[in-house]
Amino acid sequence: MRIILLGPPGAGKGTQAKSISNKFSIPHISTGDIFRKNISEKTPLGIEAKKHIDKGHLVPDALTIDIIVDRLDNEDCINGFLLDGYPRTVNQAEALETILEEKGIVLDTSLLIKVPREFILSRMTGRRVCLNCGASYHITFNPPETDGKCNLCGSSLVQRADDSEETVSERLDIYDAQTQPLIKYYGDKNLLSVVDGTQAINGVFESICSILGEIKK
Ligand code: ADP
Ligand code: AMP
């Protein structure tokens, strides 16, 4: 399975990605997680990315595309992958197309988790993440079993610096301007499936599984 997850920040891409990755045994590749790991390790990439991420802006395509080129070269991607948060611009989508063509690989689908803007603010301000494994929780909608600790690896949960109310609004505007055009981009290629992301987490997962089950047949 070779899948792209699309949807606004806070739609639930990371949450669903963990379950999809487990069920279909494909690596979950999140450019956001890769940037956050680099930021916490203070690498040159992390220091540069932080300047953009903290303002709610996209990291420049040149940096982001290189990360994906490297990551898709990894052996664990041979039998499939799940991209979460990439592509975010048409330029990134075109670069991905070139990378996949060179590898002789085709995408199965992009999956849009559709969530209207009015749902997003409460999801993002209540989000808590594990910087170690990337798992995402919500203080009300999906609390961890032990307060402040990741269910999967036991590490401490933190609130993302870019999940403040002001930054969320900027990120949503950028999504509308730069990422939303990908819906038409993949729709025109007949590579778009849509799920209702306003359902509860399990309901969204069931909808995704039924779409992916059809594709696998
Ligand atoms: P994304 O990766 O698309 O930015 P996340 O998966 O991190 O989004 O989800 C954003 C926040 O919303 C998290 O706090 C998560 O626990 C919560 N969340 C995810 N899916 C749902 C849902 N279907 N209903 C309610 N809250 C959700
Ligand atoms: P995410 O974890 O997907 O919400 O990403 C967090 C932040 O990382 C985004 O708001 C961007 O600043 C940056 N980022 C992640 N993926 C990309 C990408 N494909 N292109 C540009 N910036 C990205």
Residues 143-152 pLDDT 10s: 999 999 999 9
Whether 45 is covered by a domain: the verdict is no
Give the mean model confidence (pLDDT) for residues 179-192: 98
Tokens 């991209």 belong to 83
Q: Is the CB of 86 under 6 A from ligand 2?
A: yes
Q: Is 13 annotated as a binding residue?
A: yes
Give the mean model confidence (pLDDT) for residues 107-136: 94
Range(s) of the domain holding residue 210: 2-27+74-127+166-216
Q: Is the CB of 87 under 6 A from ligand 1?
A: no
Identify which of 114, 46, 59 has the alpha carbon closest to the alpha carbon of residue 92.
59
How buried is residue 201: exposed, middle or buried, by Cβ count under 10 Å (0-12/13-18/19+)? middle
Residue 214 to residue 217: CA distance in whole angstroms? 5
Cα(127) to centroid(ligand 1), Å? 7
pLDDT above 90 for 134? no
Q: Is the CB of 197 under 6 A from ligand 2?
A: no
Whether 151 is covered by a domain: the verdict is no
Tally of CA atoms within 13 A in the half-sphere of 48 that contains its CB:
10
- CA 80 to each of CA 29, 56, 156, 177, 203: distance values in angstroms, whole numbers, following the listed order: 11, 30, 30, 29, 24
Out of 37, 160, 184, 216, pick the active-site residue.
160
Whether 143 is covered by a domain: the verdict is no
137 in helix, strand or coil? strand
**For residue 2, what are the β-bridge partners?**
81
pTM above 0.85, yes or no: yes
Active site residue 88: yes
Whether 55 is covered by a domain: the verdict is no
Whether 34 is covered by a domain: the verdict is no
> Which residues in the chain belong to E strands, given as ranges?
2-6, 28-30, 81-84, 109-114, 127-130, 136-138, 157-158, 192-196
Residue 122 to residue 44: CA distance in whole angstroms? 33
For residue 58, give the amino acid letter. L
Q: Is 9 annotated as a binding residue?
A: no
Q: Is 148 annotated as a binding residue?
A: no
pLDDT of residue 131: 85
pLDDT of residue 175: 97
Give the mean model confidence (pLDDT) for residues 107-117: 97
Active site residue 13: yes
Which residue minimizes the CA distance to atom 1 of ligand 2?
32
Number of folded domains in the chain? 1
Q: Are the CB atoms for 128 and 139 separated by under 8 Å? A: yes
Rg (CA), the chain: 16
Whether 94 is covered by a domain: the verdict is yes
pLDDT of residue 217: 67
Residue 39 to residue 160: CA distance in whole angstroms? 12
User: At 133, phi and psi to the nearest 5?
Assistant: -115, 0
User: Torsion angle of alpha carbons 183, 187, 190, 191, nearest 10°?
Assistant: 0
Q: Are the CB atoms for 129 and 136 separated by under 8 Å? A: yes
Out of 18, 123, 127, 128, pick the active-site residue.
127
CATH number for the domain spanning 192: value is 3.40.50.300
pLDDT of residue 61: 96
Active site residue 160: yes
pLDDT of residue 213: 87
- Find the ligand nearest to 83 CA: 2
pLDDT of residue 214: 82
Q: Is 8 annotated as a binding residue?
A: no
- Find the ligand nearest to 29 CA: 2
Whether 109 is covered by a domain: the verdict is yes
Q: Which atom of ligand 1 is nearest to the CA of 84?
A: 2
- Find the ligand nearest to 129 CA: 1
Please give the DSSP secondary-structure letter assigned to residue 43: -
pLDDT above 80 for 129? yes
Whether 102 is covered by a domain: the verdict is yes
pLDDT above 80 for 50? yes
